[in-house]
Amino acid sequence: MTDTAREEILGRINQALGRRGGGEYVSSASGTVPTGSPPSATGSEQSHGTSGEAEAAGADIPAAGGGMVNQSADYLRTGTHEGEDLIELLIDRLVDYKANVHRVSGDPAATIAGLLDSGSKVVVPRGLDDSWMNSFSGEVSVDAPGQELSIPELDAQAAVVTASAVAIAQTGTIVLDGSPECGRRAITLVPDHHVCVVRVADIVDIVPEGIARLTPTAALTFISGPSATSDIELKRVEGVHGPRTLDVVIVDT
């Protein structure tokens, strides 16, 4: 992630939490709210008033670290990017996360086939558009309720192809919601290659816009680039927790 993008995201987080750059919490209604002190090593903590006082205040609630956050804070709920700027922002973030991005107009079948090894085994969720796999010459297995592939069977698949529910441009995040065209979580975690189709109509600017489109009780999977970790000696290792390769096909429809 570029420094500019990081600063922009952190700035918006601070704004949403109602705090200034130095970590001081503020109330959008009445200005600065005392932050208080975090719990000490002996377990003592600073009181923020009685429950009656809290109810009277109405808006302020305890925050992590002993501060106070105003519930009525004016959160940013709508982004400012749209059209080509929105799409280009998503592409920039995805590339920054080391995902491979391919933009097509209309039918993505030929692009998808070109990303898959000819003659290989590929798994798809039961609700995926059948036409998307028409140009692929390999073996396609459909994962469906009552016909779920086992972990060893999924491990034998060269790739998985799914659709997506939402793509969030600011964070370069693709969300799968467990719907028939996205499939269950296991099929996108075990194969080493994930080809994910994103419709332009499903791209939003910021996280609140994305969350507003999702069903909270769904099995949501948030994907920001291929699986990677730097836990071991601070060296980036890809493919530890999921697919090593992520190809995102952005479809203009």
Q: pLDDT, tens digit, for every residue of 160-202?
A: 999 999 999 999 999 999 999 999 999 999 999 999 999 999 9
Q: 118 and 58, same structural domain?
A: no
Closest by CA to 164, choosing from 150, 148, 147, 181, is 181
The answer to whether 217 and 169 are in contact (CB under 8 A) is no
Does the pLDDT at position 124 exceed 90? yes
For residue 49, give the amino acid letter: G
Cβ–Cβ under 8 Å, residues 139 and 179 = no
- Distance in angstroms (rounded) separating the CA atoms of residues 58 and 53: 9
Please state the pTM of the whole predicted model: 0.69
**Sign of the CA dihedral running 129, 139, 110, 159:** positive
Q: For residue 108, what are its two tokens? A: 């993505």
- Determine the Cα–Cα distance for residues 112 and 78; give it in Å rounded to an integer: 32
- Tokens at 67, concatenated: 């501060």
Residues 21 and 133 in one domain: no
Residues 209-249 pLDDT 10s = 999 999 989 999 999 877 666 666 776 666 556 688 999 99
| Whether residue 62 sits in one domain with residue 87 | no
230 and 174 in a common domain = yes
User: Which domain range does residue 115 map to?
Assistant: 83-252
Final residue in a domain of this structure, among 36, 70, 104: 70
Minimum mean pLDDT among 1-10, 66-75, 131-140, 203-212: which range? Answer: 66-75
Which of 22, 42, 70 terminates a domain? The answer is: 70
- The answer to whether residues 93 and 42 belong to one domain is no
Residues near 16 by Cβ (< 8 Å), separated by ≥ 6? 73, 75, 76
pLDDT exceeds 50 at position 80: yes
Range from 27-41, 82-96, 115-129, 223-237 carrying the lowest mean pLDDT: 27-41
Residue 118 sits in a domain whose CATH number is 3.40.50.10420
Number of structural domains (the chain) is: 2
Mean residue pLDDT of the chain comes to: 81
Q: How many CB atoms lie within 10 A of CB 7?
A: 11
**96 and 139 in one domain?**
yes
Residues 90 and 49 in one domain: no
